[in-house]
Structure 1
């Protein structure tokens, strides 16, 4: 057993002991939240801190420089933590920058942000994160912010950042405590691996224990070829009686994890699967028609949603807009054709372009959806790269689809050929769309 496995085995033993004490205790024990993270979370005025932080983003905001300074400070003061991170930090750094932007963009909706961070804390258990690590992260972030801002730094601005972080961490710690009875991750064996092109694979796996999830959700995968490195992938099927899971993985870029899952993984290999996440799910029998917009491996989530709708007593009329660069890029056509044949309530509209990952083609997809009909009374699902999801959500909002009926989970890494980067500058909070970003470890 290597050092990484030993560490997680000790954490699992500690969690088992804590769970036993909770079960046998006369009253539930409160979550162990560091004192700094437990101060009046319900009374938090996130909108005020958002105004102060966004007004000073040119001085100190989420940026590659800030993230570099943060990790430099963390590993300089606590070298042992470096062993808990993957060898390559590129994905991690970009993902943390995106997560900080997400926090800032949603500070004016603390209830939504608290729910998001609670889910994040549940997922972070797979990384071996403990409350003390958040304290180290806070100190490193404060040092990085002061370094970026220089003489322009102020105590008020620092306190706004720390209040934001502590609000998020309190919810994350609570989420981890609530999930104490479930595994931090599930061990799985690859039972099928089908190449659909030089850079795309459909991977089937089965876990040793039942894996709970809902159609439309995603999970993070880890291959033993690259320890500590987790990547998000949509589950491409509704829950099945045999417990078989399906993931669609695209490599062909600079990301070593996706490349390993596509080109260096085969039947019999082992995987680790994090807890299922995401809000792009079907809540009972939909009482209205459904619109699904998917691009790239976002088809995986669309496929799972269609399987779930098919199970219902009266599947709703559903329109699927499926974007691809060329007809050959529609890689799962047998499954799509089978769904069309047996589902008279489903209509599929292919949208072809030069490059399904290009910004211009994301705009073309959104425009095709706009021309396709009146969607204001529909329940909409959007699945694909973040830039595509953002363009489509903006279009649907402009067409009158209420925000609470647009669901999407834009995953960093959904198309690794074009990593998504938010522009610098003041963020403009959008509508209260039901969505979530992929998690990030501190």
Structure 2
């Protein structure tokens, strides 16, 4: 009933929340457009999962842990619940019956309690955020910069995972980036960041960040890790800066002694955009188990021509491989469909969520 009024609903919700509870405003960024979209998608996800308690609890638990970095406290949940229910009642009209109100009140109470419990359990074992100093910055062309940071304290993670980052120039705006390296002895993490049009955080990291600046990291997330693989043969597919987690996974294979056979496909529109290929070729020279192929889709040059999904068909089949996909959402979706059609089991295809990770878990 209320989904068609999504924009109006989220604007009204935050308006009455900040009017009734002005102290809550400090938890949110100045620009609220992305936040409003996330609220709506979170609500829709709760409704989608209402008959799947296991997945609902998993989703709400992740949401609760993720909210720690915003400074969310248990005392904030009643205020949000009150304003949320009043917003739904206002926009649902006659459909907001006493039975519907009771159902939503109960549902919100359960969601809030699961989030609170998950946050409290998480707080017992790790910080909400990690300050990290920029120790190295290298421009890579085409609006890409390689940013290396050193967290202030131990930061355990697995190769292939991604991290949310907040910059000092845009407080409370968090964006997600994959770590481009396996865990190092010195504890540093490297990110490959592309400045996107209108991207305040990516633009700041690429064009403004310098050695000595301090950013903040959220906890590591994601299941696209080497331990998820069941086969010894691995297929890695990377487009653009999607190479970052794939590079970390290749380093992890090397750290473990190279007991996998790895086929890596790099894709781009033009040869100039074939990001990171020189470094990957040097890695292939050092590791006999790594084979690399680059594919260009919009330029006629010697070598492989075509979009990555098409190239995968040419060099397949891949049904005896675990596939790890990283890059633009359209490329991942197309490659996943192609691999599945040609016999690769969906449970052997691994990739990060397409959008805000905590709102896009399976």
Following superposition, the deviation at residue 292 of structure 1 comes to 2.0
Output one character per residue of 1:126-176: Cα deviation in whole Å (capped at 9) or x when no partner: 111112223322233323333443334445555555555444433322221
| Unpaired segments ≥5 residues, structure 2 | 300-305
- Note the 1:204-219 alignment, pairs <5 A: 204-219=148-163
Pair 1:143-2:86 in alignment: yes
- CA displacement at 1:96 relative to structure 2: 3.2
Distance 2:213 2:67 in 1: 24
The 2-side partners of 1:64 and 1:393 are apart by 32
8 A Cα contact 1:203 1:248, kept in partner: yes
Residue matched to 2:32: 89
Partner of 1:114 in structure 2? 57
- Structure 1 runs not aligned, ≥5 long: 1-55, 356-362, 414-436
Q: 1:269 & 1:412 partners in 2: Cα distance?
A: 27
Q: Give me the whole-angstrom Cα distance separating, in 1, the residues matched to 2:102 and 2:311.
A: 46
2:207 to 240, 263, 269: 263
1:31-50 equivalences in 2 (<5 Å)? none
Within 5 Å, which residues of 2 pair with 1:156-195? 156-158=99-101, 161=104, 165-180=108-123, 181-195=125-139
Per the normalisation by structure 2, the TM-score is: 0.86
Q: Which segment is superposed worse, 323-332 or 252-261?
A: 323-332
CA distance in 2, matches of 1:110, 1:174: 16
Query: Is it true that 1:221 corresponds to 2:165 in the alignment?
Result: yes
- Tell me which residue corresponds to 2:14: 71
Q: Which residue of 2 aligns with 1:369?
A: 312
Report if aligned partners of 1:123, 1:439 keep a CA contact under 8 Å in 2.
Answer: no
Distance 1:228-1:320 versus aligned 2 partners, 3 A rule: same
Structure 1's 386 and 141: CA in aligned 2 closer, same or farther, altered over 3 A? farther
TM-score with structure 1 setting the length: 0.72
User: Of Structure 1 and Structure 2, which has the larger fraction of its residues in strand?
Assistant: 2
Structure 1 consecutive aligned stretches of length 4 or more whose deviation exceeds 6 Å: none
1:345 aligns with 2:289: yes
Q: Which residue of 1 aligns with 2:257?
A: 313
Contact 1:95 1:412 in 2 (8 A): no
Distance 1:276 1:354 in 2: 35
> In 2 relative to 1, CA 296–63 (structure 1 residues): closer, same or farther, beyond 3 Å?
farther
Deviation sequence 1:218-256 (CA, Å, 0-9, x none):
111111111111111111111001111101111131121
Partner SS, residue 400 of structure 1? coil
